[in-house]
Amino acid sequence: MRTIAIIGASLAGLRSAQALRRQGFDGRLVIVGDEVHLPYDRPPLSKDFLLGKVEAVPLADQDDLDALNAEWRLGNCATALLSHGEVALSDGTTVEADGIVIATGGIPRTIPNAHVLRTLDDAVKLREAFATAQHVGVIGAGFIGAEIASSARSLGKDVTVIEALPTPLTRVLGVEMGAACGQLHGDHGSTLITAVNVDSVNVDSGINLADGRHVNADVVVAGIGVRPATDWLAGGPVKVDNGVVCDAGGVTNLKNIVAVGDVANCAGHRAEHWTSATEQAQVATRNLLAGETVATHTNGGYVWSDQYGVRIQFIGRATNDVRIEDGSIEDRRFVATYRDSSNEEDIVGIVAMSNARLFTRLRRNLK
Ligand SMILES: NC(=O)c1ccc[n+]([C@@H]2O[C@H](COP(=O)([O-])OP(=O)(O)OC[C@H]3O[C@@H](n4cnc5c(N)ncnc54)[C@H](O)[C@@H]3O)[C@@H](O)[C@H]2O)c1
């Protein structure tokens, strides 16, 4: 391959570029990103960035970037995949490549008049809005909503979190452990309202709930999930269905195109995690250079989240059979395992609150 184009210049895109060079690819590398910024780390945005403790945290220093010897096309959006080797960009140019890495990530779902927090620019706007706000409304009690609520409390704001489901974090942790995490809000003076829909957000007064209640808020932020950024692929040669459809090694229906990160639907599963993006980049680029699937993803889907001074860690998959192995939910310090429904001896998932040591030890037993 003489030219490889990476579409998406965040974690998955950057790690793909680094992996390609590490594996000896010495051809032309073009990296396209719709944001104007060089790759930065997103996890601090909802935490230390909002608190004013850090500015943008680069994912690579200048020496690392120079070593990539890449052509950066930043502030430029891929608008179409014209063929299996040609991408149209928003500045009217096209990039021709022998291989393509799709790393376009996810786009936050929005609610009119509510902030979102995905990009550095989003975080700058939210931080500015927090500077004068007293009452903060957070819609969605997933990881992003919970972390924003926690930061807002640290800044002394009055915080109300609205969650559509009866229990937060059900999708990732299941009902029991999601409820355990949800209790952190009340512990730290935030109000959590569950099982209610949002009717509308009013810029001046806050959130109107579908059941007629009103939540007073000067600033409202929605953390209600993301959708894969695949609009630009519509009608093109790559198959799309809840993300870019690829095999367990990130290879799409075209052998010269791979997908990595939040946008990749690998063997029926779309992982929206920092650690998955990093691992997928290594594997998918190997397959791209090999011209076939020679390796598959093994990452167990490790997730961490820092909320209200508590570190939540999760890996694997949640089942209904969840057992506390150490500590207690009441102490907000525990490790629990999820067991397989067909063989309860098998640990298929682990969740911990403030117990990294035992979490790390049990992780080795994960099936
Ligand atoms: N620490 C971490 O791992 C971390 C931190 C932040 C974000 N992220 C990732 O960023 C992405 C976005 O995070 P997220 O928290 O927005 O997504 P999410 O899908 O994890 O959580 C969204 C939450 O919003 C709720 N919801 C959806 N629509 C709603 C509505 N109209 N009203 C009220 N509640 C509603 C859902 O039930 C869910 O609980 C995810 O991929 C997430 O994994 C990860």
Over residues 257-282, the pLDDT tens digits come to 999 999 999 999 999 999 999 999 99
Cα 16 to middle of ligand 1, angstroms: 25
Question: pLDDT (tens digit, 9 = 90+) per residue, 131-173?
Answer: 999 999 999 999 999 999 999 999 999 999 999 999 999 989 9
Q: Provide the phi-psi class of 301: left if phi over 0, else alpha when psi is between -120 and 50, else beta.
A: left
Alpha-carbon distance 102 to 4, whole Å?
11
Phi first, then psi: give them for residue 350, nearest 5 degrees: -140, 140
CB 270 within 8 A of CB 262: yes
Which pLDDT band holds residue 62 (cuts at 50, 70, 90)?
very high
Best of 122, 170, 173, 224 to mutate for ligand 1, by most ligand atoms within 8 A of CB?
224
Q: Which residues pair with 74 in a beta bridge?
A: 33
Number of other residues whose CB lies within 10 A of the CB of residue 211:
10
Q: Say what the pTM is.
A: 0.96
Residue 34 in contact with ligand 1 by CB distance below 6 A: no
Q: How far is the CA of 136 from the centre of ligand 1 (A)?
A: 17
How much is the mean pLDDT over the chain? Answer: 97
Amino acid identity of residue 188, one-letter, is H
CA of residue 145 to ligand 1 center, whole Å = 7
Residue 204 confidence (pLDDT): 86
Element (H or E) spanning 83, and its range?
A: strand 78-83
Residue nearest to atom 43 of ligand 1 (CA): 272
> Sign of the CA dihedral 180, 184, 186, 187?
positive
Query: From CA 137, how far away is CA 367, in angstroms rounded?
Result: 40
Tell me the per-residue pLDDT of 300-334, one tens digit each, with 9 for 90 and over.
789 999 999 999 999 999 999 999 999 999 999 99
DSSP structural state of residue 196 = -
79: its two tokens: 């608008």
- Identify the bridge partners of residue 81 per DSSP, sorted by sequence position: 87
pLDDT for position 366: 87
Residue with token string 């793909």: 16
**Which helix H or strand E contains 315, and what residues bound it?**
strand 310-316
Q: What is the mean pLDDT of residues 41-45?
A: 98
> If DSSP codes are grouped into helix, strand and coil, which group holds residue 176?
helix
How many Å apart are CA 288 and CA 1, to the nearest integer?
Answer: 9
Is residue 221 within 6 Å of ligand 1 at its C-beta? no
Q: 163 in ligand 1 pocket by Cβ < 6 Å?
A: yes
Q: What was the pLDDT predicted at 367?
A: 80
Percentage, residues of the chain above pLDDT 70: 100
ipTM (interface predicted TM): 0.93
